[in-house]
Amino acid sequence: MKASRYTISTLKETPSDAEIASHRLLIRGGFIKKLASGIYSWMPIGLRVLRKIEAIVREEMNRAGAQEVLMPNIQPAELWQESGRWQQYDEGLLLKLFDRNQREFCFGPTHEEVITEIARSELRSHKQLPVNFYQVQTKFRDETRPRFGLMRAREFIMKDAYSFHLDEQSLDAEFRNMYDAYSRIFSRMQLDFRAVIADAGAIGGNASMEFHVLADAGEDRIAFSNESDYAANIEMAESAAPSPDSTAPAPMETIETPNARTIEAVSNLLGVDAKQTVKTLIVKGAKAPLIAIVLRGDHQLNEVKAAKAEEVASPLTMAAEAEIRAATGSGLGSLGPVGLEMPILVDRDAAAIANFVCGANRDGYHHINVNWQRDASATRVLDLRDVLEGDPSPDGKGTLSFKRGIEVGHIFKLGDKYSKPMNATVLDESGKAATMMMGCYGIGVSRLVAATIEQYHDDKGMVWPTALAPFEAVVIPVNAHRSEAVQKAADEIYAGLIDAGIEVLLDDRDGHRPGAKFADAELIGYPHRIVVGDRGLESGVVEYTCRKTNETTEVSVTEIIARIVETVRSERT
Ligand code: ATP
Ligand code: MG
């Protein structure tokens, strides 16, 4: 490709609404252009990257045995009414439209209904199962806060896949198959990613896993082990269960603690570590009016975990101070489990300590040397806290670290969530109608372009892995209009690289100074740059720069093509 015939629309200024690197660089590099909030056009150079990512996704989906289809963007309301989602789907995300006959439609934000409609009419017998259909397609979700460019757009490109099965074992196997395919996709893209437990589902095993690219710009926070592949959304993350402290119980005492209403104040006053204290929170109960939750003093309540406890009213609601005082006779600063007349849920770590400090349910007093069983009893011991960095991983391997993640993929066991209301059945071995089991598997293809840049950029611009770069190499002739030798050498190198199958751009733009071309090359991030100039040619060399290492070397004109071809071939995945 010759730059003189190619639209390169780089910008010097950073767009004012761009808060993260990928958004800034995609706009400045002229990869995308904003049309409206959360709606972008793909410019030629950006589309090349998108197509490469799509190609990797397609290759791996095909290799995994999935079949490509293409479903309509516009979906009839009736289908969504059948599944029950016309009203239920996340408030406002659905873009609804009318045709000329006032029939209602939506622009697809996802395609479970459409694929289930296809499956129920196409698949008749269990012998046709399992199957997995996928597509790469534009979706629309009317996000409340579109931002960060491609990261959270309203119109975006997704690879969505849907599998159909006779039974759960078959669904489990396909879930595993997709897990492996996703791991291959993100590895081929050279991304630093983790497969994260998103929801420990009811159908057994982890029914939903998200794939996250690790990057500070990510909207999610994940905890992962430094020694195993355990990773989970912070909301879901667990640590290994503690072993109980076997110190002999000392006699319990009640101590005056005036003005000490926080764990910090109490532990300072008594000279004990916060780890040796517990705190007591009171929430509304599902059956009993109030429920106590006891945590170690240095731990925080995990509201997602607490909300799942059957004793707790949903949504999780903290009790008001007046209610607490009426029930316990104490204010918030002196609560504790001793003598408390309500169900008590105790976090595993709080349950493991001996001789702890807690409020005495009397303003200005605390107990010391409190021990479970002897002094207070737990209704139930369970995991109720947020994990901390450094906690032991729940699989017993290593400790947990935290990072931010960008959700680029999501695999989900749907079970019969759609097939049941939509009556998608096949005949099983005995000739009876059986509701099919479903899985769904999404990849944010356009979001991946942004996520890749978050991991691959420096202060000058994008630094593409060769497998994803818009062009693998750029040839920049310096002042070719003044030198026939430069023009000729650059043309020959360009032609030689094209013949060898290298994706190369010749930056032959008139009216661009060399400095501007270099800056564009760094901004766009071509992995390999060859600069052809008069001075070098006098001694038979060109300048070669590797974008990743930023190192420049002189390479002889006769060797440069072979050098580039060899390097690029070794870098393609
Ligand atoms: P998020 O939690 O980021 O809103 P989601 O869980 O609603 O995403 P899914 O329904 O799981 O999204 O969609 C599959 C994939 O599509 C996601 O993993 C993500 O990579 C991508 N995706 C979802 N919403 C957007 C968006 N607004 N812009 C770009 N990509 C998106
Ligand atoms: Mg998701």
**CA 444 – ligand 1 centroid, Å:** 6
149-to-25, 90, 297, 324, 447 alpha-carbon distances in Å:
10, 21, 41, 47, 9
Ligand nearest to the CA of 209: 2
Mention the CATH class of domain 471-572: alpha beta
Q: Which atom of ligand 1 is nearest to the CA of 443?
A: 15
**CA 59 – ligand 1 centroid, Å:** 22
- Indicate if ligand 1 lies below 6 Å from the C-beta of 209: no
Q: pLDDT per position in the chain (573 positions), as tens? A: 999 999 999 999 888 889 999 999 999 999 999 999 999 999 999 999 999 999 999 999 999 999 999 999 999 999 999 999 998 887 689 999 999 999 999 999 999 999 999 999 999 999 999 999 999 999 999 999 999 999 999 999 999 999 999 999 999 999 999 999 999 999 999 999 999 998 654 444 568 999 999 999 999 999 999 999 999 998 889 999 999 999 999 999 999 999 999 999 999 999 999 999 999 999 999 999 999 999 999 999 999 899 999 999 989 999 999 999 999 999 999 999 999 999 999 999 999 999 999 999 999 999 999 999 999 999 999 999 999 999 999 999 999 999 999 999 999 999 999 999 999 999 999 999 999 999 999 999 999 999 999 999 999 999 999 999 999 999 999 998 899 999 999 999 999 999 999 999 999 998 899 999 999 999 999 999 999 999 999 999 999 999 999 999 999 999 999 999 999 999 997
Residues 6+ apart with CB under 8 A from 47: none
Q: Which atom of ligand 1 is nearest to the CA of 210?
A: 18
Residues 6+ apart with CB under 8 A from 13: 28
Residues 6+ apart with CB under 8 A from 533: 477, 478, 479, 486, 542, 543
- Indicate if ligand 1 lies below 6 Å from the C-beta of 442: yes
How far is Cα 494 from Cα 412, in angstroms, rounded to an integer? 47
Asked: is 253-382 a CATH 3.90.960.10 domain? The reply is yes
Helix, strand or coil, per DSSP, at residue 377: coil
**CA 31 – ligand 2 centroid, Å:** 26
Q: Where are the domains of the chain?
A: 3-238+402-453, 253-382, 471-572
Q: What are the strands, taking DSSP E only, across 113-166?
A: 131-140, 155-165
**CA 154 – ligand 2 centroid, Å:** 15
Q: Give this prediction's pTM.
A: 0.89
pLDDT of residue 235: 85
81 dihedral zone (left: phi>0; alpha: psi -120 to 50; beta): alpha
How far is Cα 327 from Cα 339, in angstroms, rounded to an integer? 12
| No. of helices (H) and no. of strands (E), the chain | 15, 30
- Indicate if ligand 1 lies below 6 Å from the C-beta of 141: yes
Mention the CATH class of domain 3-238+402-453: alpha beta
pLDDT of residue 88: 80
Query: Residue 471 in contact with residue 505, Cβ under 8 Å?
Result: yes
Q: For residue 371, what is the enclosing H or E element?
A: none
